[in-house]
Amino acid sequence: MKHKDYDPAVELAKGAELTASSYDRTQGVAVREGKVTVGGKPGVAEFTGAATGRAADGGIDGTMSLWLSIFRYKRPDGTVNHVAGWNIMLALRAGQTALDTARAFETYINAGRRPYRALASGDADAAAVTITYKE
């Protein structure tokens, strides 16, 4: 039964904000589509270049981060779903290509228990990971 206050246009447009950061000197990241919506609009992060990689001393240098924010939306029955945020930080290897990085995020996201799925595409120089919400 549909709840009287449920507006599908409003609720399906809600979703996680996607942000990204590169802590690598030579591999970059940019967010092309910054919102992953309940209604199926994907978020897209693009990677460029080969990585310098993580140093033996640890720390944040040589890593890449994607962040999907916390959000809430109402289901047709009127219940509210609270979706947790997700900070995904991966260490890069020296010489790791943009496509290798996109595939690493794809593998990590798809193996997780969170309501997201990912698909990597591109080539060694420029690649993307497309993230969709799947409940």
Q: Where along the chain do its domains lie?
A: 8-133
**pTM of this structure:** 0.94
CA–CA separation, 118 and 134 (whole Å): 10
Task: Summarize pLDDT for 8-25 with one digit per residue, the tens.
Answer: 999 999 999 999 999 999
CA–CA separation, 94 and 87 (whole Å): 22
Q: Which residues of the chain have pLDDT under 50?
A: none
CA–CA separation, 53 and 92 (whole Å): 5
**What is the amino acid identity at position 29?**
V
